[in-house]
Structure 1
Amino acid sequence: MAMSTTSRCVLLLFLVGLAARAASGVIDGLLPNGNFEQGPTKSQLNGSRVMSPHAIPSWEISGFVEYIESGQQLGDMILPVPEGSRAVRLGNNASIRQKLVGLTRRTYYSITFCAARTCAQAEKVRVSVVPDSGVLPIQTVYTSSGWDCYSWAFKAKHTTAWLSIDDPDAEDDPACGPLIDSVAIKALHHPSHTKTDSMLKNGDFEEGPYIFPNFPWGVLVPPITEDENSPLPEWTIMSDTKVLKFVDAEHFKVPQGKYAVELVAGRETALVQEVRTTPGRSYKMSFAVGDAGNGCQGSLVVEAYAAQGKVQVPYESQGTGGHKRAELEFAAADKVTRVVFQSMNYLMKPDGTLCGPVLDDISLVPLPKKHRRLFL
């Protein structure tokens, strides 16, 4: 039977769609078998330990790697799994790796993965895409489930690369180590500006790491000491070991758009961006401060400063959402001005996990020159 014109058109569009998908390279979302639901056969396991390097489809393993099922008991500890029913645990000298294909050279990518510690208080996870690597501390837990999702960014040097996740520390018990689940990738785009009249880039935080749609706790963004590329384009997180949280409107109250950041670590973390300015020229920065509607109650205070200007913005939170606008006017002292945001207080939700104010919709504009003398 001859194919109709309509059928031929549909087939052509389908093939064009497939070609575009292939040409686009890496697709945002879960890596192949990124949730480890496809596992080893029984013959490839010794108890829960994986005995073959290629036993977990799409992954290559080395060292003491265990294949964990949700609810599995370790001593007096029951191991949960955040999504699906399976995860892996990295013991001594253990690593998992997957080959990333279809990368675009000189493009930035963010890896999102979820992790939970089991034995040690000071467990760490190392993420590597050669030549970049970062060691992410996971001793501070930001969710009541014990699982947190972390992000880490790299710049692609080639069209293919090996992503490796491992436990950099050796424990007394070779089976001790972090649980890993749900590994995803996302291409990052560095926007020129968030608004036509704003000098700041990504001030609305609409560009950031991948957030799993079924996970209600956001994604942690590491400090520059652990990741110089930053999964939050144009912004730098200044801290020794603490993070900030990237949150979405699907699970949190967000002042504007689809995404915002929650300052969960008090004064231990600062959010920073540098912007070109004219010395002596006056500027106005405006932004939204509120709560994420996640039960974080109490006195939230965000401090913002740039050049010699500083403002503290209080917000009394009932933990049910809401925000208010704030402004800071300052005069630039140099050709480059550093804009900084911090949470002044440490707060906890009723479940004992850290929380803080939500920050969003930041813009920076020059004021008319007649304002200049007010700040000199």
Structure 2
Amino acid sequence: MALLLSFLFVFFFFLCNGSASAAIPLHLDDLLPNGDFEESPAKSNLKKTVIIGKYSLPKWEINGLVEYVSGGPQPGGFFFAIPRGVHAVRLGNEASISQNVTVNPGSIYSLTFGATRTCAQDEVLRISVPGYSADLSIQTLYSSDGGDTYAWAFMATSKVVKVTFHNPGVQEDPTCGPLLDAIAIKELLPLKYSKGNLVKNSDFEIGPHVFKNFSTGILLPPKQLDLISPLPGWIIESLKPVKYIDKKHFFVPSGLAAIELVAGRESAIAQIIRTVPNKFYNLTFTIGDAKNACHGSMMVEAFAAKETLKVPYESQAKGGFKTASFKFQAISARTRITFFSAYYHTRLHDYGHMCGPILDNIRVFPVY
């Protein structure tokens, strides 16, 4: 009898604990439902490529002229590169797609999405959730294979947010507009300091969702377009984006991720750290190449307080790296550290693919 009671107690304990753990919401880090658009509309809801009906695209709500397209040659001499799958959507004049997403209020989320322009130089993609919106210019192509991927962040203000991608432009051809081929979301967890380092997220391990099957890196927009950074702790302090790269698809000096400075002096990354006025500190960091055919004479410039260091690096495009350091004296309780690439680079044999030196493993610690 005692054995039976013990068994029932253990069974009840696991049953309760199993139910409790199932009720705990998981941290989002995946494609949105039908985020790769491989679940197609019914043939009866398609007029050639145009989707007919507000709810005809599974898991999405559409407004305006939205096309469901496949990769490859298109009528009119176009070619749609869809590297992450077979299908994508194209947003015509003033068209949009949206989806309601369940989130944790007060948490920070990053959207990762593959986007490229299709037929006009001045195409813009507007991303919005309640309380946040940004118009992202996709005029500049950073990869020649349609693989441009962006990240954009927001703070959730309710349990359900409506995520919207909108083409605010009006072209002569009403079907002209941005192509979206994959959309994912990730909850960005709060940062913690590492022992012996004043820099938060110093090795860029906390960042946006990375697509598993294909990646040319993730473009992080400048702070003017993204008030909440998709790279926690860091400010994209420039006119152009920087690129977040992962170990699976690139060479990374240490850890799982690094930053590639893809637009020369137009892409810079910075962080404001706590310091003691007049105290001396060491700043160390690693630079290199991502083993992505980015070659030539590179130069990373680093700034801290009144000190500057220019670090040259001769890239053989084979995934090398070097570490640099310098000492600076703090002049206030807050010190801005900044990094940018002095030169512009493109990939070997692919001049349409912008690239640059990579940055990783940044540390600031006091000199005693």
Instruction: Specify the TM-score bucket, using the shorter chain as the normaliser.
Output: over 0.9
Q: Deviations over 1:92-117 (max 9, x none)?
A: 1100000011x111110000010111
Matches within 5 A, 1:110-121: 110-121=110-121
Q: Deviations over 1:158-206 (max 9, x none)?
A: 111100001121111110001101110000023222x200001001100
8 Å CA contact 2:82–2:146 kept in 1: the answer is: no
1:72 CA displacement: 4.9
Aligned residue in 1 for 2:65: 64
Aligned residue in 1 for 2:225: 226
2:343 is aligned, of 334, 340, 345, to 345
Deviates most, 138-147 or 195-204: 138-147
1:27 CA displacement: 2.5
Matched, 1:147 2:147: yes
Matched, 1:87 2:88: yes
1:20 CA displacement: 3.2
1:70 CA displacement: 2.0
The number of residue pairs the alignment matches comes to 360
8 Å CA contact 1:130–1:161 kept in 2: the answer is: yes
1:239 CA displacement: 1.9
Aligned residue in 2 for 1:278: 276
Q: Deviations over 1:307-349 (max 9, x none)?
A: 1111001110000101111002100111111100010010111
3-state secondary structure, aligned to 1:43 = helix
1:78 CA displacement: 2.0
Taking the aligned partners of 1:191 and 1:278, their CA distance within structure 2 comes to 22
Distance change >3 Å, CA 18–CA 358, structure 1 → 2: farther
1:244 is aligned, of 220, 225, 242, to 242
Taking the aligned partners of 1:254 and 1:283, their CA distance within structure 2 comes to 26
TM-score (norm 1): 0.92
Distance change >3 Å, CA 13–CA 288, structure 1 → 2: farther
1:269 CA displacement: 1.6
1:13 CA displacement: 6.5
Matched, 1:196 2:195: yes
2:266 is aligned, of 251, 254, 268, to 268
3-state secondary structure, aligned to 1:202 = coil
Matches within 5 A, 1:80-229: 80-101=81-102, 103-193=103-193, 195-229=194-228
3-state secondary structure, aligned to 1:74 = coil
8 Å CA contact 1:141–1:147 kept in 2: the answer is: no
1:15 CA displacement: 8.8
Distance change >3 Å, CA 133–CA 247, structure 1 → 2: same
Taking the aligned partners of 2:121 and 2:16, their CA distance within structure 1 comes to 52
8 Å CA contact 1:41–1:55 kept in 2: the answer is: yes
Distance change >3 Å, CA 298–CA 18, structure 1 → 2: farther
Distance change >3 Å, CA 16–CA 72, structure 1 → 2: farther
Deviates most, 112-121 or 80-89: 80-89
3-state secondary structure, aligned to 2:200 = coil
Taking the aligned partners of 2:49 and 2:19, their CA distance within structure 1 comes to 39
1:48 CA displacement: 0.7
Distance change >3 Å, CA 305–CA 48, structure 1 → 2: same
1:147 CA displacement: 2.7
1:367 CA displacement: 0.8
Identical columns (%): 44
Structure 1 gaps of 5+ residues are 369-376
Structure 2 gaps of 5+ residues are 1-5
Distance change >3 Å, CA 199–CA 70, structure 1 → 2: same
1:16 CA displacement: 5.5
Q: Which amino acid aligns with 1:56?
A: L
3-state secondary structure, aligned to 1:20 = helix
1:238 CA displacement: 1.4
Aligned residue in 1 for 2:299: 301
8 Å CA contact 2:147–2:215 kept in 1: the answer is: no
1:25 CA displacement: 4.5
Q: Which runs of 4+ in 1 moved over 3 A?
A: 8-22
Q: Which amino acid aligns with 1:233?
A: P
Matches within 5 A, 1:344-363: 344-350=342-348, 351-352=350-351, 353-363=353-363
1:146 CA displacement: 2.2
8 Å CA contact 2:295–2:317 kept in 1: the answer is: yes
1:71 CA displacement: 2.0
Taking the aligned partners of 1:295 and 1:348, their CA distance within structure 2 comes to 8
Q: Which amino acid aligns with 1:285?
A: L
8 Å CA contact 1:40–1:50 kept in 2: the answer is: yes
Taking the aligned partners of 1:256 and 1:223, their CA distance within structure 2 comes to 25
Aligned residue in 2 for 1:289: 287
Matched, 1:32 2:64: no
Deviates most, 304-313 or 15-24: 15-24
TM-score (norm 2): 0.94
